[in-house]
Amino acid sequence: MSTVNSEKLSSARFSEATDEFVEIFTASVDFDQRMAQEDIEGSLAHARMLHKIGILTQQELEDIITGLNQISQEIRNGEFNWSIKQEDVHMNIEARLTDLIGTAGKKLHTGRSRNDQVATDIRLYLRKEIDLIKQQLTRLQSALLDLAEQEASTVMPGFTHLQVAQPVTFGHHLMAWFEMLKRDRERLDDCLKRINIMPLGAAALAGTSYPIDRFMTAELLGFSRPSANSLDSVSDRDFAIEFTAAASLIMMHLSRFSEELVLWSSAQFDFIDMPDAFCTGSSIMPQKKNPDVPELVRGKSGRVTGHLISLLMLMKSQPLAYNKDNQEDKEPLFDTVDTLLNCLRAFADMMPHIKTKKDTMRQAARKGFATATDLADYLVRKGMPFRDAHEVVGQAVKLGLDSNRDLADLTLTELKQFSDLIEQDVFDILTLEGSVAARKHIGGTAPETVRAAIKTARAELVSDE
């Protein structure tokens, strides 16, 4: 067994040095240094609180502030020397602070533990990242609204079971994605309520005997309140799991959207033209234009969902309070943030450049007897029971299949053989435009309804910013 001559700040209790492999194995500084600025932010607030309660003198507080600001600048400039010997971001910063200002640096950890420190850092980090995620969500939602407005009257087939069901407008279809992203945004806002609670002051697990002012620290850091139980504060990561669950739902929605973009851009559908900048070619087939961005986003959804499962499994068997297991929370959390931000950015960048093929969409909507339900509704309005109307329309569809014609192409005489209730006005609703225009209630696919929904959505986006 090889050992190292450790210079850890927390090594005094041990009679022999840490095994070299174990030191590397247990260190987290390679990845948790990402939270360095949040760690410094938390330390500055903690120092000001310690000064208020008389633990730090005015000079010591000023030295700590100066030292932490210098460390912050060193990190930004890439000049900070990260050491595995100090295990994590917290001890690295504290060791450097002590090097810079001496004894005052050693006083900073009074009344706190790395347990409540890291829980606070993660919350500060997530709070900042959620703001960035929401900005990308807004960009994507705005791009969807712009495209939906352009395509509010563009007729396309609506599908169930991937079979032509009823005609809808492309604008209406895009607004379905807007609504999904709207709920995703609401989930993030709700998640923030539980993230924005401050664990600092819980110390290792039982609180501290110093007369700390947790409300002051919470106010300085912008938290809504201090946490209510010290054991819970340092031991649970449900707030991170909740965020990852919300991220998984966003990625699931993006994956479904990706699937449609892949289908729509294929030769078999040919509904849209994907922008060249977001596609690649084939190494041997020169005609290929592969929709790599939506395919990759579709694949990355599994990655984020995997992180959610990892975090759930991480927490499920832990006794109170803090355990070293929780060091494993950061890498899946960080990768979830990075993956989600990148996927949202890719979609927000790509959406304004998607070109629709209106004629192809319209021709596709004419296949599969998309206005069959309209004919049934027409007969019901004439007084026929719906089940009888369903039977009549089935007979008309069979005639269309046998003669390879759409319902709108059948003659009035042919239609009247199935019911005398059918008159010339039936052709007003058998056309694709007539079908979508008739659905003008709230939530419907009529162009005027879609435009009204877009107007409302734009107002909501502005108010949320």
CA 71 to chain centre: 32
- Quick one: 30 and 139 in the same domain? no
Verify that 238 and 351 share a domain, yes or no.
Answer: yes
How many structural domains comprise the chain? 3
> Is residue 60 situated within a structural domain?
yes
The number of residues making up the chain comes to: 465
The answer as to whether 238 is a domain residue is: yes
The answer on 316 and 169 residing in a single domain is yes
Among 83, 110, 137, which residue terminates a domain?
Answer: 110
The dihedral over CA atoms of 10, 119, 28, 345, expressed in degrees to the nearest 10, equals: -160
| Contact (CB, 8 A) for 239 and 246 | no
Cβ proximity of 212 and 46 under 8 Å = no
Tell me the C-alpha distance between 232 and 202, whole Å: 9
On whether residue 1 sits in a domain, the answer given is no
Contact 440, 448 (CB under 8 A): yes
Nearest C-alpha neighbor of 348 from the set 190, 177, 152:
177
Cα distances from 270 to residues 129, 264, 274, 359, 363, in angstroms, run: 37, 6, 10, 10, 11
255 and 141, same domain (yes or no): yes
Give the pLDDT confidence score for residue 462 in this predicted structure. Answer: 86
| Residue 161 bears catalytic tag | yes
Same domain, 132 and 100: no
Reduced DSSP (H G I as helix, E B as strand, rest coil) percent helix, strand, coil of the chain, to 5: 65, 5, 30
- Residues linked to residue 169 through DSSP beta bridges, in sequence order: 155
Please indicate, yes or no, whether residues 72 and 196 belong to a single structural domain of this protein.
no
Q: DSSP letters along 45-81, please? A: HHHHHHHHTTSS-HHHHHHHHHHHHHHHHHHHTT---
Using CA atoms, how far apart are residues 171 and 365, in angstroms rounded to an integer? 15
282 is catalytic: yes
With respect to residue 212, please indicate whether it lies within any of the assigned structural domains: no
Question: For position 340, which CATH number holds?
Answer: 1.20.200.10
Angle between helices 36-52 and 114-150 (to 10 degrees): 130
Residues 6+ apart with CB under 8 A from 199: 116, 119, 120, 123, 226, 227, 233, 234
Determine the Cα angle at 304 with ends 298 and 305, to 5°. 95
11, 266, 282, 403: the catalytic one is 282
Q: What H or E segment, with its residue span, contains residue 163? A: strand 163-169
Name the residue among 21, 77, 368, 51 with its Cα closest to residue 210. Answer: 51
Q: What is the pLDDT of residue 428?
A: 86
**pLDDT, averaged in runs of 10, over the chain (465 residues):** 47 64 90 97 98 98 98 98 95 98 97 98 98 98 98 96 93 98 98 98 97 98 98 97 98 98 96 90 68 96 98 97 95 98 97 96 89 92 94 94 90 94 90 90 96 97 80
Contacts of 456 by beta carbon, 8 Å cutoff, 6+ apart: none
For residue 454, what are the domain limits? 367-464
Give domain status of residue 9, yes or no: no
Pairing of the two strands 163-169 and 155-160: antiparallel
Same domain, 322 and 187: yes
Domain end among 56, 78, 110: 110
Q: What is the pLDDT of residue 368?
A: 77
| Domain assignment present for 224 | no
**Cis before residue 152, ω within 30 degrees of 0?**
no
Q: Identify residue 152 by its one-letter amino acid code.
A: A
Cα–Cα distance, 163 to 185 (Å, whole number): 31
CA distance readout (Å), 98 to 9, 77, 108: 10, 20, 9
H or E element in which residue 156 lies: strand 155-160
> Biggest alpha carbon distance in the chain?
101
Residue 434 lies in a domain: yes
DSSP secondary structure letters along 325-374: GGGGGHHHHHHHHHHHHHHHHHHHHHGGG-EE-HHHHHHHHHTTTTTHHH
Please indicate, yes or no, whether residues 29 and 155 belong to a single structural domain of this protein: no
pLDDT recorded at residue 10: 60
Rounded to whole angstroms, the Cα distance separating 78 from 410 reads 74
* Residue 101 domain-assigned (yes or no): yes
pLDDT of residue 2: 37
Q: In this structure, what token pair is assigned to residue 196?
A: 């924005």
Do 371 and 312 belong together in one domain? no
**Active-site residue among 2, 15, 161, 317?**
161
The CA distance from 398 to 4, in Å, is 83
In a shared domain, residues 105 and 137: no
C-alpha separations of 40 from 44, 68, 69, 87 in Å:
6, 6, 8, 17
Buried b (16+ CB within 10 A) or exposed e, 170-195: bbbbbbebbebbbebbebbeebbeeb
Q: What is the CATH number of the domain that holds 416?
A: 1.10.40.30
Q: Is 338 found in the same domain as 385? A: no
Residue whose pair of structure tokens reads 């945004």 in the numeric block:
185
Structural domain ending residue among the three candidates 110, 129, 158:
110
Instruction: Check which CATH number belongs to the domain holding 68 and give it.
Output: 1.10.275.10
The tokens for 175 are 């607004």
Residues 253 and 267 in one domain: yes
Q: Alpha-carbon distance 86 to 8, whole Å?
A: 5
Q: Are 26 and 324 in contact (CB under 8 A)?
A: yes
